[in-house]
Amino acid sequence: MDPFEAARLAIEKCNGTMFLDHMLRVDAVVKRPMTKSLSDSTLLSPTIGDPKLTIFVGNLDFATKEEDLRVFFEGMVTTERGLPDVEGSEDEDKRKCWVTRVRMVRDRDTQLGKGFAYVQFSVRASFFPIVMGTVH
């Protein structure tokens, strides 16, 4: 098997799975030429994420953990919309959820959070202003 195809399959199968009660996030590191523009369609690849599904969360405590944000937003969306539809799930190992990715921006040396994160959801919804109004 081609190593690039193997890596793509590993990302597809492993991202979002549970291991020791933790949600795994599997991404690829992609080197892009400096000449590519931000509107390039490669920025919407599954490994990077869709900006229309992602919100910025700021003013976080530096010790905040990704799992804390995942649990908070998953609870908020579940309260607003109910449990996600689990029927038609192609992979039983993956837990169906509203929050697909949490990326906490950290300091390279200390690994402490920098006070902001990005939360990506499985669907684009109109509840984001409601959710954002409740986060303090």
Average pLDDT of the residues in 64-84: 89
| CA 11 – CA 112 distance, rounded (Å) | 26
Tell me which residue has tokens 């449990």: 83
pLDDT band at 42 (very low <50, low <70, confident <90, very high): very low
CA 85/CA 4 separation, integer angstroms: 32
What is the domain partition of the chain in residue ranges?
3-134
pLDDT of residue 46 exceeding 50: no
pTM exceeds 0.85: no
Q: Does domain 3-134 have CATH number 3.40.640.10?
A: no
* CA–CA gap between residue 33 and residue 85 (Å, rounded): 39
Beta bridge partners of 19: 22
